[in-house]
A and B are shown apart, each in its own frame.
Chain A
Amino acid sequence: MSNAIVTPGRSAQSPLTPGGEERGGGRQRRPRKPINTQFRTAVSPHQLNTTHGRIIYWIVLVITVVSFTAAFVFPLYWMITGAMKSTEELNAIPPTFLPTHFSLDGYRQAWDLLELGRLLGNTALYAGGAWLLTLAFDVSAAYALSKLRPVLGKVVLALMLATLMIPPLVIMLPAYLTVKDVPFFHWDLLNTPWAIWLPAAANGFNVFLLKRFFDSIPRELLEAAEIDGASPGRILWSVVMPISRPILGVVSILTVVNVWRDFVWPLLVLPDSDKMSISIGIASLSSQMPQNVLVASLVIASIPTIVVFFIFQRHIMAGLTAGSLKG
């Protein structure tokens, strides 16, 4: 905010564009609108608003937008339209930019041949259960560590955070053996949703995020509830959880998206083709499918995560920076 007052660009610029907003009302030809310099960055706002600076700015902007679109949107466009083309059309050289016939047959075939409905249902079941279990276990654990402070609480927290040092992929073989034959209980969890749900709840990062947030809740608030006779469970449910909605949102999205996108773990623990998650199902059948059907199934598989991204963009990006900036 102080930039707006002291930025050299502003003061240098002001005689040239004297208050465009104030008398802008009935004017026919406005002078060029200055590029917004509210946030001072490496490029000086003064240079940015010279003729030379503007030309370079617009060139860079156009190049960036075009190259980003080419690199990140065009592949998706190619995927969506590719699924509408016939096999012959896909093999044609030069390729067609638009499908010659608009048909959703590729999608229909993919849905039927790969049984995508069942695969999507499985994945939703895994993601939903992992979400519930993670919230139940990690929230109550973080609450206990943050507010109830039991004996050895620090040790437990340290052990949970230590798991962040060892990536889950590295211990995938012993973890797989554990799921195959759970010690003491001798349950075989392979091909059951528990094989996804229980390990998903053992997430040190979630505990870390939640505990850090709970630590910031003032003690007085909980003590007031305690004096009113609320039990710890009641305090967690009625006081802590409502305040913590932002962090619960971040943890929820992280959990659901991670389970949805995961590949290696479901590959190991859900070998049965009836139980596969969407990624594994498509990958396992990819070599037997005609190209357009495969591509159609890729489109369908990416719709849920993209929709989630559309809706929760803010939360997802907040979670991304919250986690990494503080480690």
Chain B
Amino acid sequence: MTTASIPVTNRRRRQPTKLRRAVRRNLTAYGFLCGALICFAFFSWYPMVRQVILSFQKTNFVDAPEWVGLKNFRTVFSDPAFAPAWINTAMFTLLALLCGYVIPFITAIVLNELRHARAYLRFVVYLPVMLPPAVGVLLFQWFYNPDYGLFNQVLSFFHLPGLQWLNSSGTALISLVIVSTWMNMGSGTLIYLAALQTIPSELYEAAELDGAGLFKRIRHITIPQTKLILLVMLLLQIVATMQVFIEPYLLTGGGPENSTVTVVYLMYQYAFNFGSLNAGNALGLMLMLVLMVFSAIYLRISRDNTV
């Protein structure tokens, strides 16, 4: 009995200090957290919620906001640029993946085989990524100039007819894809290269002993070994390229004939040029939902595979 009562009194005596210590620890912790919490709350969490709210409202910031149901979505749907915006965004994403996903991977495989000039090649491929995007885009605007741009000069050097590049609805979108690939392929290349360097060499040796040729080794060892990073990069790139804005904004203004209007660009137009912020919100909400699907898959994959 006595042995049992001692710990009880002990615990009772200790409890207030323990509780006080816990309270103090929590207060300190939230003191440390408060700066970040305020920033997140105002500039991340609240805008997300507000995106949803504003999509169903009509606001002019003078009168009280009015709930309008799906009217904003109907406005956006009936816009002649709505379908082109989504189609162009999808096309841009697809083309940007064809270029910006396959080329970096092949480049990385080649770089991984090279034993010379590695530092130079790695440095050079990442240079465009370091340029401010506006610089890269405006540089290509000059290159694309049909009269005196670099590209048509190179074509005429080889006695090929010049192209209209950004001025023709047939080539405008692909021109944007080229800029975007040039500016962004460096990061993909270096990430794949890092992944390739983690492949254990025993695997290649074993495959070689089994008589697998170079391409078989790439197909059965390199690709399966980098499958996870390939998948992750695919999703990240889809999310990144679907938000294409700066290229159409600076190069084409969505033209010619809506051939380069994209979802984010249209959203910007609604808010700042068409004076219909809520329609822009409705469009943003749609894009947000689409991108969240890809992000969710991405998070799922990266959580399942990294403990």
Contacts and interface: CB of A to CB of B under 8 A. Distances in A.
A148 interface: yes
B135 A279 contact: yes
B54 interface: yes
A306 to B, nearest CB: 6
A257 B245 contact: no
Given A156-B37, A183-B42, A302 B120 contact: no
A148 B218 CA distance: 47
Interface SS majority for chain B: helix
A144 B288 contact: no
A173 B271 contact: yes
Interface of A: 3, 6-8, 35-37, 39-44, 57, 60-61, 64-65, 68-69, 71-73, 75-76, 78-79, 82, 90-95, 133, 136-138, 140-141, 143-145, 148-151, 153, 156, 159-160, 163-167, 169-179, 181-183, 198-199, 201-202, 204, 207, 232-233, 236, 257, 260-261, 263-264, 268, 278-280, 282-283, 286, 291, 294-295, 298, 301-302, 305-306, 308-309, 313, 316-317, 320-321, 324-327
A141 B197 contact: no
Nearest to A171: B47
Contact of B190 (A68, A143, A145, A321): A321
A165 B300 CA distance: 11
Contacts of B114: 57, 60-61, 64
A94 B126 CA distance: 30
A72 B101 CA distance: 18
A301 B257 CA distance: 32
Given A41-B204, A150-B30, 14 more contacts: A3-B201, A36-B115, A57-B115, A64-B111, A93-B148, A167-B243, A174-B51, A175-B47, A202-B42, A204-B40, A232-B32, A295-B139, A309-B126, A321-B190
A94 B156 CA distance: 9
B7 interface: no
B247 to A, nearest CB: 10
Interface stretch (B21-29, B90-98, B166-174): B21-29
Interface string B84-116: 000000000000000000000000011111111
A65 to B, nearest CB: 5
